[in-house]
Amino acid sequence: MRTMTTMRGILLAVVAATVGCAAGNGDDATGGQGASTSASGGGGGAGGGATTGGGGGAGGTGGVGGAGGAGGAGGGSVCGNGIVEPTEACDDGNDDPGDRCDDCLVQCRQGEHKWEDNDHCYGEFTAQKINYEAAKQVCLSQGGYLVSLTSQAEQDFVFDTVIDPAIALPRWLGLTDLTTEGTFAWESGEPFAYTNWEAGQPDDFEGTEDCVEMYHVTGEWNDDNCTYEYHYVCEYEVAAPQP
């Protein structure tokens, strides 16, 4: 009788242990779940032991992600970086005074005139008379070019404001047909569309006239011999860096 009672006790213990093991094995069933995807989320608890049959711990709640940082404010114009920005009239990449661009504003030199339509400076040279090529080189050496008159407005500005009609002799313009006879082109490379020829011009008289001058009295144009010596007008763009 005692033996049967003992065996019954052992059998009940084995059954209880088996049930407890099935219910408490949290690592293989539901215990340890719920690890947070956020760095701040807590991990799930471990499952209960096989003998006691403890339930698995609940998974930790995932942490909320951090808010993104605010974008930096946009930078303003930088005067002196060589880039003409919307708030600047010019930017020649330096802070040298007297180079027609100071504090990113067009400052024409003494004796020059600024045309507000393009912020270019125009200077007349009448101290000496020289041929076309020499006049061209003077303008280039000063960071400009022989003047281009590409519209009626620019023609009027140069004739009315820049030219002194009291000083005799025509003024060289930066216009020739030296490359192709009969096809005129501006030294500046601007399109050749506007003209202000005197009646009957250009006529390439005796096949020797390839450079263009403007009459100082009427402002009209005439083709002439490039070796003749006249006064001249230089034009300066100051938005780009000057030599």
Q: Tell me, yes or no, if the pTM score tops 0.95.
A: no
Model pLDDT, residue 82:
72
Q: Class of 113-237 per CATH?
A: alpha beta
Residue 24 vs residue 221, higher pLDDT: 221
Q: Which residue has the higher pLDDT, 102 or 203?
A: 203
pLDDT classification of 66: cutoffs 50, 70, 90:
very low
pLDDT of residue 108: 85
Query: Angle at CA 60, nearest 5°, toward 54 and 62?
Result: 165
70-84, 177-191, 202-216: least confidently modelled range: 70-84
Query: Is 214 or 94 the better-scoring residue by pLDDT?
Result: 214
**Residue 211 pLDDT class (50, 70, 90 cuts):** very high
pLDDT mean over 199-219: 97
Helix, strand, coil percentages in the chain from 3-state DSSP, rounded to 5: 20, 20, 60
Indicate the burial class of 192 (C-beta count within 10 angstroms; 0-12, 13-18, 19 or more): middle
Q: How far apart are CA 122 and CA 113, in angstroms?
A: 5
Beta strands in 36-168 (DSSP E): 101-102, 105-106, 113-115, 120-130, 145-146
Task: Provide the β-strand partners of residue 232.
Answer: 125, 172
Highest mean pLDDT among 79-88, 103-112, 114-123: 114-123
Q: Which residue has the higher pLDDT, 239 or 27?
A: 239
**Which sequence spans correspond to the domains of the chain?**
75-105, 113-237
